[in-house]
Structure 1
Amino acid sequence: MINTATTRSAEVEQRKLRRARKAALAAFLGGALEYYDFFIYATAASLIFSKIFFPAGDPTIALLASFATFGVAYVARPFGAVVFGHLGDKIGRKNTLVLTLVMMGASTFLIGALPDFRTAGYFAPALLVLLRLTQGLSAGAETAGASALTTEEAPEGRRGFFASFTMSGISFGIVLASLAFLPVAAMNDADRLTWGWRIPFWLSVVVLVVAFLVRRSLDEPEVFEEKHDHGELARLPFAKMITTHPAQFIQVALMSFETVTNTFMQAFGLAYAVSVGVNAATMLWVSILGNIIAIVTQPLFARLSDRFGRRRVFITGVVGSGLMIFVYFSVIATANVPMIFLTSTLITAGTYAASNAIYPAWFSELFNVKVRYSGMAIGLQIGILCAGFTPLLGTALVGATKANWGPAAWIVAVSSLLAVAGALWARETHKTPLRELGNPVK
């Protein structure tokens, strides 16, 4: 009897581990697709769209308009978080994540098929904005849903590690996006601006198919199924979350400002570097190097948080990014390529990776299972919404005076201070059992 019981227990543990690994793989692929799509747009907005989707004229004005289309997706993200967060807490994590995945992939492919301003006039940027809004609706729930599902499937004591694969997938997506644009950056202007830029958008269908097949095979987390089967889910998860977890919601909103660092570097940093004479292909290689290393370092930082606590690792990373960003812009301003590689990698794979790897588990752990998807999705979008417009703000503040990079660095530094404030306020959760996470929800 003892041997039989032990065998059954081992089989159960192995089954749970397989489910956790599959959830982590699905989160990795979903994150890869989301940020492949988002950052080929960021790259195109920095290098291409200002030249083909808007009237000819002042290049700074055109770049501002291009970054504005980049930012509109971030306006849509909170709405996506509300809608899909509600669905995720009502009908389940899996089906909602399949829907958001298809929306993101389809809208990205269609962007690659749009006519330019010379062909369609103002109809072209209008369609661009529409598809960008669709991307935003999808992205508003993707990371939160994948993080919640993976956290709920992870073995006790390893939630941070398994949930961090969402972030490693995002790094992989940025690598793919940068690699996809390298041959585009090497083209002559005529080919790049007519058809070359479209290829990276069309290639997203490959990642979409792989991620869709993996995600369709997932099961719902047991902790969610228990509430669903007993009819214990909240009727209006968003409203319930606001009344039962108001402090946690504000904490996540503040901590979400840590995302400003990466968005600002990938979009404004690229455009700024090109404006001071650094080759665009060089900056794409800078991004590739940092994110390849981050694919490995993020799970390591997350594992440290499983052992020593979420707050300690998160704050160390955020403070580091807020300080290092001044070094980053100072070396870009001097076009010192070796130092650009070193500084960017230290941020992307070091300080930013340390904070970024922690939030999928920590933000999820702050909420009860009944409102977890909604709470994390909507709270996370506050900082991400602001992050989406920081390239526009940075371009406006720096203007044509390229030595005036100080305001750009301060945007990241102030965002880091807000994230630290939220982290100091939030409870430590790394040792709390899964079913005891969050406040009671009746």
Structure 2
Amino acid sequence: MTAPTQLTAAAATGSLNTKDMRRILGSSFIGSAIEYYDFMLYATAASLVFDKVFFANLGPGFALFASFATLAVGYIARPLGGVVFGHFGDIVGRKKMLVLSMLIMGFGTVAIGFLPTTAQAGIVAPLTLVVLRLIQGVAVGGEWGGAALMAVEHAPAARRGFAAAFANAGGPAGAVLGTLALSLFAALSGKDFLVWGWRVPFLLSALLIAVGLVIRLKVSETPAFQRLEAAGAQRKVPLLDVLRHNKKSVLLGLAATTAFYVCQAMTTVWGVSVAVESGADKNGVLNIKAAAAVLTLVVCFYSARLSDRIGRNRVLIGASILGAVLAFPMLWLMTNGTLWGFGIAIVLGNGLVQGFLYGPIAAYVAEQFPTRNRYTGASLAYQGASMLGAGFTPMIVAGLSLAAGGSVGLIGAFWIAILAAAAVAVRVTPEGKGRELD
């Protein structure tokens, strides 16, 4: 029996507990975890290291703003990666693009580990940092679409939400690994952390990439793509096809996805920085952030399974409302200068609100597009949201804080507006639970 036939039989029984499905879900989870380890490691380093290593001559406030600007560059590149990898993923297949994205990400991350400081190389250092961040952004922009579709297109219809969550859950898992690695070497290197300690987690990426490649090379192409190939469907330029026939789906998916990215940026990037600046212990903040990411993982899987029962839309709208209610309490807790305050805020914002938004979102976005342009369309919506939500939020919030003299009023209003827009977008989107992908 061929692999596609086995997977079709598994889909008919509604089970994810087959040898092929376990390998596919494991590949989606582990591969995404490794790539997001690389990507989110940069986010944590931008909060704690890069303003001092690459932008120290700008002064504390503006150095942090410049560091967050380089963080945004990676998110700006993600839609480009989504379009490029989506094009070839829709033409030649999902699997090949997943392998290529991992190789590109590994190169960019290891190169950052070897990068000289501004004191050593002058302006070349921050410029090279920007280029390497662009490379990271292109790679992770191609990663999510492939990993999510490998799970969604292999899974039975009744379990798509839960299956797709394995690709998304790689994000917080990678964040845990990256945060713990940086925290560990911050403790081991002590006062030398800014000299060499921060580099080691970036260099360790080479080992993780090797493991991920071995796993990814063993999975099969998705049945949905194989059926498209077998039908001999004419496919020209997936991007033009999406813009012609699925533009509304892109815009609604982007608005819905932006909410969880803003929650992520508010708590795990800007929140980390402001908590440390307000007096909370740096290592304690990093350890709490890692613990909250574990909670995000648990809630992500729970909310994904819930979405298979009651629908993606109900879960996403409920989570958006919860986030809007908790926005100002979380901001006060993050900025009160205590570890307990930061801990409660990140458990609420990153663990619960983001977790409930995160679980169903991969299936929600993927189900809005047909097989012929699904990689491109889903990547456009998801990676566009990553650029707007995660890429610009730390910079926007830092600017709002400067403009308001340190007050969180404008920041809270911004956060609530994003969550309200997401709820409206989901409300007008057709429910995708149980929809036939082909």
Question: TM-score, normalised on structure 2?
Answer: 0.93
- Contact conserved, 1:17 with 1:155, CA < 8 A, in 2? no
**What number of residue pairs does the alignment pair up?**
428
Q: Tell me which amino acid in the other structure corresponds to 1:406.
A: G
Aligned to 1:279: 281
Alignment of 1:233-382 (within 5 A): 233-258=234-259, 259-382=261-384
Residues 1:404 and 2:407 aligned together: yes
**296-305 or 307-316, which deviates more:** 296-305
Partner of 2:97: 96
1:166 and 2:164 are equivalent in the alignment? no
CA distance in 2, matches of 1:113, 1:255: 38
Instruction: Report how far residue 84 of structure 1 moved.
Output: 0.6
CA distance in 2 between partners of 1:61 and 1:337 (Å) = 25
- After superposition, residues 68-147 of structure 1 pair within 5 angstroms as 68-147=69-148
Write out per-residue CA displacement over residues 109-147 of structure 1, whole angstroms, 9 at most, x where no aligned residue: 110000001110000011100100000111112112211
Assess if the C-alpha contact under 8 Å between 1:39 and 1:266 holds in 2. Answer: no
Question: 2:267·2:349 contact (CA, 8 Å) conserved in 1?
Answer: no
SS of aligned partner of 1:256: helix
Give, in angstroms, the shift of residue 188 of structure 1. 6.3
Distance 2:426 2:57 in 1: 46
CA deviation vs aligned residue, 1:18-55 (integer Å, no higher than 9, x gap): 33222211111122122211221111111111111125
Q: Is the 8 A contact 2:16 2:22 kept in 1?
A: no
Residue-by-residue CA offset, 1:169-215 (whole Å, 9 max, x unaligned): 11111111111111233356641111111011011223212211111
2:11 and 2:157 in contact (8 A); partners too = no
Residue of structure 1 equivalent to 2:20: 19
Which deviates further from its counterpart, 197-206 or 340-349? Answer: 340-349
2:435 and 2:10 mapped to 1: Cα distance?
Answer: 23
Q: Does 1:152 align with 2:153?
A: yes
The aligned residue for residue 422 of structure 2 is 419
Aligned to 1:438: none
Match of 1:205 in 2: 206
CA distance in 1, matches of 2:324, 2:16: 42
Are the structure 2 counterparts of residues 37 and 398 from structure 1 closer, same or farther at C-alpha, using a change threshold of 3 Å?
same
Provide the C-alpha distance between the structure 2 equivalents of 1:85 and 1:256, rounded to a whole number of angstroms. Answer: 18
Partner amino acid, structure 2, of 1:307: R
Say if 2:148 and 2:168, in contact at 8 Å, map to a contact too. no
Distance in 1 separating the partners of 2:341 and 2:67: 29
Structure 1 residues 315, 234: closer, same or farther in 2, change over 3 A?
A: same
The amino acid of 2:233's aligned partner reads E
Structure 1 vs Structure 2 CA RMSD: 2.1
For the structure 1 residues 10 and 75, does the alpha-carbon distance in structure 2 shift closer, same or farther, using more than 3 Å as the test?
A: closer
Worse-matched range after superposition: 401-410 or 249-258: 401-410
Change (3 A) 1:15 1:179: closer
Gaps of 5+ in 1: 1-7, 436-442
Shift of 1:337: 2.6
Question: Quick one: structure 1 residues 206 and 56, their matched pair in 2 at CA, closer, same or farther if it must change by over 3 Å?
Answer: same
Structure 1 counterpart of 2:311, one-letter code:
G
Question: What is the CA–CA distance in structure 2 between the aligned matches of 1:23 and 1:83, rounded to whole Å?
Answer: 23
Letter in 1 for 2:195: T
**What is the CA deviation profile of residues 396-442 of structure 1, one whole-angstrom value per residue up to 9, with x for unaligned ones?**
2212977512223333222212211210111101122333xxxxxxx
